[in-house]
A and B are shown apart, each in its own frame.
Chain A
Amino acid sequence: MSFKSYCFKKSLWLFHFGGASCNNCDIEILDCLTPKYDVERFGMVLVGSVRHADVLLVNGSINKKDKPRLLEIYEQASKPVVVVAIGACGCTGGIFAEGNTFAGPVDKIIPVDAYIPGCPPKPEAILAGIVKLLGKI
């Protein structure tokens, strides 16, 4: 077993970074925690600080004000950390990619391990994405 897979063997803790988004993906991420989907049964919980997290969920296009903060949060994360870009904006910039404050999709700023497209992705898609990613590790 490699060190990386050893780190992700047990309960995963999530940290959610909402960039310049329309709030839809944020709500769908929260939706994953509520009774219908309930990711807590897999031991996944949202935590308050990225220093405690194993997975960094990033959604929304990143604007000029977010960019330095996203970099800082990524540096604070204890490694290894898995970065998941959620939603069309997180993956490519989506409809806001032409905007005058757009500073690049997430993967231009920090390394991304998985992309979950959709506007917004359904909670099932978010779960499936994370499970698929863990299978690869």
Chain B
Amino acid sequence: MSKQTLIPIGPYHPLQEEPELFKLYCDGEIVKDVKWETGYNHRGIEKLSEKKSYDEVFFLVERVCGICSTSHPFAFANSVEEIGNVEITNRAKYIRSIIGELERIHSHLLWVGLAGHFLGYNTVFMWAWKYREPVLDLFEMISGNRNSYAMFKIGGVRRDIENNKIPAIEEVLSLVKKKTDLLVGAVMDDPVIHARTKGVGVLTKEDILHFAAVGPTARASGVDVDVRRDDPYAAYPMVNWKVITAQAGDVFAKAEVRLLEMYESISIIEQCLDGLKKEKEGDIDVKVKHIPEGYGLGRAEAPRGEVFHFVVSDGSNSPVRHKIRAPSYTNISTFKKSCVGQSISDATISLAAVDPCYCCTERLAVALDRNSGKRIMNAKEIIEHSTQITNRLLKNV
């Protein structure tokens, strides 16, 4: 048996902007096994959520992840509105979709930039991040903040997009479209990028189904899933768009899916803006006075895949149980397949290819006793404990 070398990446590694520990077990240059460790980012959001009222939870779930800070409120709003059977106005639906798609554009631009950076192609990094700025400026114009927009509430949205702001948004969209053409050209026609990404980190359709991966990671391997189409919400059933898929399953296919998705997002926003012009200004929310007892499931398609929120209500003004599952949670497990057998230099781009977001993914790993510091529960026991609590709550509802 040959000797294996352990190469740690992280937790505070210049490659990643988030704390995360990867252990690559290598034989020579070839990665034999991958393990990853979380917990550096755990904030106890599900527990905090039980202390807050429904209106406050929106600000909390927005801070689950800063990049996809609309998808979590989206899924939470979907789940609470399912409990209360709330039907929102068309204008609110359009605004929600516009915010969701703008976020997809800026998140995909961010990924393209980071992927270029991991390949050592810093020009793409600088370009993509430069053209991401106009989108952030749009957010600042609409909501007052570049990230964490606080646009959602139960029964609608907090702020209107007035009709006089629509031309400015259309202007930025046409700029972003032009720059996307440029990036697509830079990525699709570059022989170096082809050489570095084609056939690297391949995930087959079976792997995707085995690891239950979601979002662009799944769509790049030919698995046609998209919550926006499969479980329609907000304005997505009211506009024309198509789900982008690719077949190869390698890093290049993932880049292709994300880049082409940006065109779809631009088209969705344009159609939503046309829809906004027909609706009455200011008609953005319905009053919700009471959330009844019950439970609700909410799903939303984040830039990285499906976000799932489960909320149990006992009729009071705060949730009694709030379960969050972010897309990276399942996507990260595909590393076991995509990195193994690659060389170390290809492993980094394979890790980055699923656009992992660790702050979404954090889970409690062990429970320690407050006084003695002894370990009282391991991960498996915590999961069992959590299942028991959920079942007990469901019986009472």
Q: Which residues of A contact B (CB under 8 A)?
A: 16-31, 34-36, 46-48, 60-61, 63, 65-66, 69, 73, 95-96, 98-102, 119-120, 122
User: A120 with B66: in contact, given A18-B17, A18-B19, A34-B130 (CB under 8 Å)?
Assistant: yes
> Interface size (B, Cβ < 8 Å)?
40
A-B contact pairs, 7 of them (CB 8 A): A18-B12, A27-B17, A28-B147, A34-B126, A36-B133, A63-B39, A120-B146
Q: Is B41 at the interface (CB under 8 A from chain A)?
A: yes
Q: Are A22 and B64 in contact (CB under 8 A)?
A: yes
Pick from A16, A18, A73, A119: contact of B148, CB below 8 A. Answer: A119
| Residues from chain A with Cβ under 8 Å of B65 in the complex | 22-23
The distance in angstroms between the C-alpha atoms of A54 and B11, with both chains bound, is 20
**Among B47, B60, B129, contact of A95 (Cβ-Cβ < 8 Å):** B60
Are A21 and B48 within 8 A (Cβ)? no
B134 nearest CB across to chain A (Å): 10
List, in ascending order, chain B residues with CB within 8 A of A73's CB: 12
Closest to A37 in B: B133
Contact A122 B146 (CB under 8 A): yes
Q: Is the CB of A23 within 8 A of B66?
A: yes
- How far does the alpha carbon of A29 sit from the alpha carbon of B44 in the complex, in Å? 24
Complex Cα distance A16/B12, Å? 8
A-B contact count (CB 8 A): 118
**Complex Cα spacing A41 to B69, Å:** 31
Whether A18 touches B18, Cβ cut-off 8 Å, given contacts A36-B130, A36-B133, A65-B42, is: yes
Closest to B357 in A: A23
Residues in chain A near residue B126, CB distance under 8 A = 34-35
Report, nearest first, the 10 A-B pairs whose CB atoms are least far apart: A24-B66, A48-B14, A34-B129, A99-B44, A23-B66, A26-B17, A22-B63, A35-B130, A22-B66, A96-B43
Other A-B pairs, 19, CB within 8 Å; known A22-B63, A60-B41: A18-B17, A20-B40, A22-B69, A23-B66, A24-B67, A26-B18, A27-B66, A27-B67, A27-B110, A34-B129, A35-B130, A46-B14, A66-B19, A73-B12, A96-B48, A99-B47, A100-B44, A101-B44, A101-B364
Q: In the complex, A60 Cα to B364 Cα: how many Å?
A: 18
